[in-house]
Structure 1
């Protein structure tokens, strides 16, 4: 079931200048909860989910417009726009990925059927620069007899044309938020594999062939959803306080910017961009403007 607003709560879509920190509100509502804004490659639109549906909103402001998704079940907040701007690629609550025309129409299922009894789910977070490969988190139980608490999440690549899936990680360490670098040479993601503290996600990257796993944050905070800018110069991420399990909604969080200077480390080149009340839904998917100057995010202030 899609999320809703709490009594007295509002949803806002914000555009944040990553240089100055200046923030502009392009949409606000006390009736519908929208999540995870993408920014279209032509710079004109934001694409979000809300009430299990897909919507678009002019960046300049205006009314929400539904994007028809014929044949697609209710979706969650994991969606990306194809590099050519012609399709929105979405994750549905049936566990599958779908390709939907940006102008609306019949959706095409991408992922293949999975083995029964293992709870397979696909969570889409990125697409390769050529638009042919999706970076995905695959959740499943190891075997059909595994208990629900043995459910695992791993980084995978999925062919957009054939639905073939290749795992880049395959272990018990929770992973999330897999997203391609703009040159296609890396897949960035969040993972709990580097620390013993429960839920202490940190940022990492790995080659698309599964080699060269590199830890990219060493913080006391719980770091989620790395989003490299289109020009490759910066990384946006979302940080929760230490001790947070997962990436829950309705929390005090901080958006951070890291300068991706060759040879630099994360402590000397990372700065807080914006503190806000949000979390889940704020920045789950890529929301950079095409010129890499601003990011689109959502927050959910209480009265």
Structure 2
């Protein structure tokens, strides 16, 4: 049995298409702007998976060979943001051409983990651990060309999975308070914090659809700590303005399934990864 399966969920039909089965531990698909391929990571490197002939095709990331699964494609489809530990021994955010090339450093400090582009491509949002926050992960933004970072959350025990809405008015993220992990949204200037889920599940990695109508996210069972690999999980869908989520599919997965934005450009499909024991 294959270890990882790269899948596409179709909202209109409810069908799941298995694009690729592999013994490699692939993670975190992005969907290219032209709709022809998915980008995944495995073993510290990036790979392109053409949808018309699905194979793992290496992407040149230069010196960056210690990538984690936090990467994403700019709104114009020309640039990749990656998170890599090669230089500092801890995750740093870089940008590079979508077709490959030398990464350019964005965040001066680490650990920092890419999670979302602003719709104009000018800003990146990410969770980061900083001594100034007691080494708890909070959500930050920074110009995509580098510069001063801005902390936009506070008071959470842990934050992750930040992603802009396509109108740029909100950043969604998962935040832990008092032992509960829910989805939240906040304006990019750090105002207007709103809690968007309030249930017993452990909710992670919210991704607004490109048309702004929906949010897909990963739900762990009650009592799960962190966002581990190898759990029975579900992908859920909710309206972008809040409301009751629906369960789309359940499977064995977790860390690596849908860490980063993976919607198709048409907003009717998204990609994700499931796993099985070898």
Shorter-chain TM-score category? over 0.9
Supply the distance in 2 between the matched residues of 1:215 and 1:101 (Cα, whole angstroms): 36
Structure 2 residue 252 is the aligned partner of structure 1 residue 277? yes
**Which residue matches 1:58?**
50
Q: Which residue of 2 aligns with 1:189?
A: 173
1:62-104 deviation per Cα after TM superposition (whole angstroms, max 9, x unaligned): 2211110113241100000011111110011232111121111
Question: Which residue is equivalent to 1:19?
Answer: 12
Q: CA RMSD in A?
A: 1.5
Matched, 1:106 2:95: no
1:89-146, CA deviations, whole angstroms, 9 ceiling, x for partnerless residues?
Answer: 001123211112111111111112x3xxxxx310111000111100110113338xxx
Contact 2:2 2:21 in 1 (8 A): no
Which deviates more, 70-79 or 181-190? 70-79
Aligned to 2:204, which of 224, 233, 243? 224
Q: Deviations over 1:149-189 (max 9, x none)?
A: x5310000011113321000133521110100011110000
Alignment partner for residue 225 of structure 2, among 213, 234, 245? 245
Q: Is residue 18–residue 294 contact of structure 1 (8 Å, CA) maintained in 2?
A: yes
Pairing partner for 2:92 from 93, 96, 110: 96
Q: Structure 1 regions of 5+ residues with no counterpart? A: 1-7, 115-119, 144-149
Residue 161 of structure 2 aligns with which residue? 177
Deviation by residue 1:230-282 (Cα, 9 ceiling, x = unmatched): 0011110110010000110000000001123x5xx422xx1100001000000
Question: 1:289 matched to which residue of 2?
Answer: 264
Alignment match, 1:202? 182
Secondary structure class of the residue paired with 2:113: strand
- Taking structure 1 as reference, are residues 9 and 59 closer, same or farther at Cα in structure 2, changes over 3 Å only? closer
Residues paired across the two proteins, number: 274
Give 2:150's match in structure 1, choosing from 166, 170, 175. 166
Note the C-alpha offset of 1:16. 0.5
Greater Rg by CA: 1
How is 1:112-127 mapped onto 2 (pairs within 5 angstroms)? 112=108, 114=109, 120-127=110-117
SS in 2 for 1:131: coil
- 2:216 pairs with 1:233: no
Match of 1:83 among 61, 71, 75: 75
Residue 266 of structure 1 is matched in structure 2 by 243
SS in 1 for 2:192: coil
Q: Aligned partners of 1:129, 1:215: CA distance in 2, in Å? A: 22
- Rounded Cα–Cα distance in structure 2 between residues aligned with 1:139 and 1:225: 17
| TM score, norm. by length of structure 2 | 0.94
Partners of 1:97 and 1:131 in 2: CA distance:
15
Q: Partner residue of 2:141?
A: 157
